[in-house]
């Protein structure tokens, strides 16, 4: 090689520094050599890995532009630690491979192609050796930069993974819905790899089917492809059967299809990656991503990353499911506890009402005997007075006639008030429900209500009020008709007595409907309604707002006892001032005689 100008090494060094890639560095070196030997060509094999045992990872610069470069010769040079020569593809040329002494980690081999005399002259030329040293320094710098870039990328990816895992763990304890949880998980996976097509499949029905709680796909309708269905021979089932990740490309897909391991479902993807979701040592589902583009493929690093993320997702999902189960169980326990408390309150209320009824009936029974004796005595006294009035001797004694008249009036007052007292005692005795006087039988509710209204017609016709009935003709109930008659008639008469202002034309509406294992009977008026202070006590004995005007306070108490004890049902009252009152009675289709019903609260707003 001819001597170069003094400035040439500096210009060459500047050219190398300006080159930012391995291919460009090789081209700068080759261009400088061709100024002296026009036929020379250069190529370089390089790798970031520092040992010769990994020479399979060698890459060529400037790439496909040097199709004559020999990978095998480069491997031999790295293994032997010295230069090697061999014939080049072109006639009369040789290929010389020189190991580069690099200060940074990594390895590289420079391959020179040309005629034998030219290559020999290069290796003996001091200028070439000086340029080779500069070339080695620049390659070392680029390798070191690649190392740093790789470290930065690995650190960034590691930080991204850590952020994603932290967010997934954070989502586990969040109070969001499962749909929001899956959406957030999808977003976290999308930050780590291509996940435009993503789905989660979970085993259900004791492992006999897959459910897809979350699926997003660019081509297929998730409602059609990703719906709950029995296990098939798709890719998802293959991952579930093997319990191992599957990185699928066309070649792997064709091999699995040919072996009968899978049958394709939906639009064929260019690349598919699925990993198992393992919970408590068992495959509980599959996490999968796929690509329909030739430009987007998945590799082993994606598989490793998705598998790692899937472990954390499975843990988070399991914790989430356990938390959801605990919340659901807690809610059920709370509901059951509330139901027990309500039942306890109702049983106490029922027992209180029943005890009051027995007390009233007992007192009435004790009063009945002396009351009967008093009625008998007063009647006998009245007979005596009548006999004296017929005695002719009395007619001659005006003072006796006057005294007898006063006595007769007193006896009439006594008998009249004793009669009222006896009627009241009979009402008291009815408070104690007697279950032995009637036989249960099936009644058509609509016909029964019509009969009740017919019997009350004399009371209704003298009022301006209307009564409407809404009930299916075929609705029937096995019950005690007499007790039910007392219930309906007492509520209707109570409405006539208390609900409406004088001169008001009111409406009473009776509605009967089927409800679960029984019927709901509603009796509603559009009258004045009741304040809470009244509504809360309507079923208590002796409570009335018309004391001294015909109200005894026993009608609705008797209704309550009949419904809850004899008919085995519940009754509630809802009312507000100016909004009328509604009594809702629920009666079961099947009720054993003598078994008390579970009463609802005595009054509701």
- What are 477's strand-pairing partners? 443
CA-CA-CA-CA torsion sign (395, 401, 404, 409): positive
Give the pLDDT of residue 425: 64
User: Pairing state of beta strands 518-525 and 581-588?
Assistant: antiparallel
Give the pLDDT of residue 549: 54
What 3-state class would DSSP assign to 239?
helix
SS (H, E, C) 547-561: ECCCECCCHHHHHHH
Q: How far apart are CA 267 and CA 61, in angstroms?
A: 39
Q: Which of 237-241, 271-275, 374-378 has the lowest mean pLDDT?
A: 374-378
- What are 572's strand-pairing partners? 584
Give the pLDDT of residue 4: 42
Give the pLDDT of residue 503: 79
Q: How many CB atoms lie within 10 A of CB 286?
A: 26
- Region 228-242: mean pLDDT is 91
pLDDT over 70 at 568, yes or no: yes
User: What b/e sequence results for 33-65 when a residue is b if at least 16 CB atoms lie within 10 Å of its CB, and e otherwise?
Assistant: beebbeebbbbbbbbbeeebeebeebebbbeee
Give the pLDDT of residue 592: 59
Q: How far apart are CA 514 and CA 519, in angstroms?
A: 4
Model confidence over 497-523: pLDDT tens digits? Answer: 888 888 788 999 999 999 888 999 999
Model confidence over 419-435: pLDDT tens digits? Answer: 777 766 665 555 444 44
Model confidence over 283-315: pLDDT tens digits? Answer: 999 999 999 998 888 988 888 888 887 887 787
Give the pLDDT of residue 604: 45
Which residues contact residue 566 at a Cβ distance below 8 angstroms, ignoring those fewer than 6 apart? 433, 435, 480, 483
Distances (CA, A) of 246 to 208, 209, 268: 21, 20, 15
Which residues contact residue 235 at a Cβ distance below 8 angstroms, ignoring those fewer than 6 apart? 246, 248, 262, 265, 272, 274, 288
pLDDT over 90 at 47, yes or no: no
Q: How far apart are CA 304 and CA 301, in angstroms?
A: 5
CB-based burial label for 323 (10 Å; 0-12, 13-18, 19+)? middle
- Cα 576 vs. chain centroid, distance in angstroms? 37
- Region 365-391: mean pLDDT is 74
- Please tell me which of 58-62, 78-82, 580-584 the model is most confident about, judged by mean pLDDT: 580-584
Radius of gyration of the chain (CA): 51
Q: Over the chain, what is the mean pLDDT?
A: 81
pLDDT over 80 at 64, yes or no: no
SS (H, E, C) 518-536: EEEEEEEECCCCCCHHHHC
Q: Are 133 and 13 in contact (CB under 8 A)?
A: no
pLDDT over 90 at 273, yes or no: yes
Output 603 or 47, whichever has higher pLDDT: 47
Q: Could you tell me the strand order of the sheet in which 229-230 lies?
A: 229-230, 209-216, 197-204, 282-291, 271-279, 246-248
pLDDT over 90 at 362, yes or no: no
| Element containing residue 138 per DSSP (H, E) | helix 126-173
Nearest 10 degrees: Cα torsion 530, 532, 536, 538: -20
Q: Which of 45-59, 180-194, 237-251 has the lowest mean pLDDT?
A: 45-59
Can you read off the two tokens belonging to residue 140? 């070392």
Give the pLDDT of residue 605: 38
Which residues contact residue 18 at a Cβ distance below 8 angstroms, ignoring those fewer than 6 apart? 28
Cα atoms in the Cβ-side hemisphere of radius 13 Å centred on 341? 6
Task: Name the residue with tokens 């040919």.
Answer: 258
Output 595 or 328, whichever has higher pLDDT: 328
Q: How far apart are CA 336 and CA 436, in angstroms?
A: 35
């Amino acid at each position: 090689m001819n001597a170069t100008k003094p400035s040439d090494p500096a210009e060459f060094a500047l050219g190398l520094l300006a080159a930012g890639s391995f291919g460009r560095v090789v081209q700068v070196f080759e261009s400088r050599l061709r100024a002296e030997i026009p036929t020379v060509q250069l190529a370089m094999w390089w790798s970031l890995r520092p040992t010769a045992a990994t020479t399979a990872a060698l890459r060529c610069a400037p790439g496909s532009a040097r199709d004559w470069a020999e990978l095998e010769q480069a491997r031999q040079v790295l293994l032997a630690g010295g230069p090697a020569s061999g014939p080049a593809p072109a006639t009369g040329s040789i290929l010389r491979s020189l190991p580069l002494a690099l200060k940074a980690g990594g390895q590289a081999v420079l391959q020179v192609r040309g005629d034998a005399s030219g290559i020999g002259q290069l290796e003996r030329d001091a200028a070439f050796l000086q340029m080779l040293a500069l070339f080695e320094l620049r390659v070392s710098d680029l390798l070191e930069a690649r190392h740093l870039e790789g470290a930065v990328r690995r650190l960034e990816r590691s930080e991204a993974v850590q952020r994603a895992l932290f967010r997934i763990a954070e989502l586990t304890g969040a109070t969001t819905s499962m749909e929001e949880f899956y959406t957030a998980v999808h977003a976290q996976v999308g930050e780590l790899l291509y996940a435009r097509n993503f789905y989660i499949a979970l085993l259900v029905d004791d492992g006999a089917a897959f459910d897809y709680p979350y699926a997003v796909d660019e081509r297929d309708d998730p409602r059609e492809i990703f719906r709950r269905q029995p296990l098939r021979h798709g890719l998802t089932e293959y991952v579930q059967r093997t319990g191992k990740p599957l990185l699928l490309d066309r070649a792997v897909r064709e091999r699995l299809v040919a072996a009968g391991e899978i049958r394709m479902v939906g639009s064929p993807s260019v690349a598919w990656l699925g990993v198992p979701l393992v919970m408590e040592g068992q495959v509980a589902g599959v996490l999968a991503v796929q690509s329909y583009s030739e430009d987007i493929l998945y590799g082993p690093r994606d598989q490793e990353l998705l598998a790692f993320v899937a472990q954390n997702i499975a843990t988070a999902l399991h914790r989430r499911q356990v938390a959801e189960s605990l919340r659901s169980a807690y809610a059920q326990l709370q509901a059951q506890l509330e139901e027990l408390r309500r039942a306890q309150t109702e049983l106490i209320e029922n027992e209180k009402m029943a005890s009051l009824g027995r007390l009233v009936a007992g007192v009435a029974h004790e009063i009945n005997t002396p009351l009967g004796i008093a009625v008998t005595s007063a009647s006998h006294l009245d007979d005596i007075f009548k006999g004296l009035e017929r005695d002719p001797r009395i007619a001659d004694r005006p003072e006796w006639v006057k005294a007898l008249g006063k006595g007769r009036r007193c006896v009439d007052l006594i008998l009249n008030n004793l009669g009222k007292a006896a009627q009241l005692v009979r009402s008291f005795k009815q408070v104690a429900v007697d279950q032995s006087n009637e036989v249960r039988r099936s009644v058509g509710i609509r016909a029964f209500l019509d009969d009740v209204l017919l019997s009350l017609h004399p009371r209704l016709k003298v009022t301006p009020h209307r009564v409407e009935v809404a009930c299916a003709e075929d609705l029937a109930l096995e019950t005690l008709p007499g007790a039910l008659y007392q219930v309906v008639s007492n509520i209707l008469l109570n409405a006539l007595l208390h609900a409406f202002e004088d001169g008001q034309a009111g409406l009473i509406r009776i509605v009967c409907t089927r409800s679960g294992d029984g019927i709901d009977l509603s009796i509603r008026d559009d009258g004045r309604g009741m304040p809470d202070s009244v509504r809360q006590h309507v079923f208590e004995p002796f409570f009335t707002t018309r004391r001294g005007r015909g109200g005894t306070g026993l009608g609705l108490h008797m209704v309550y006892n009949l419904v809850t004890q004899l008919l085995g049902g519940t009754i509630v009252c809802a009312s507000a001032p100016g909004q009328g009152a509604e009594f809702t009675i629920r009666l079961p289709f099947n009720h054993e005689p003598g078994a008390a019903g579970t009463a609802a609260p005595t009054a509701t707003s």
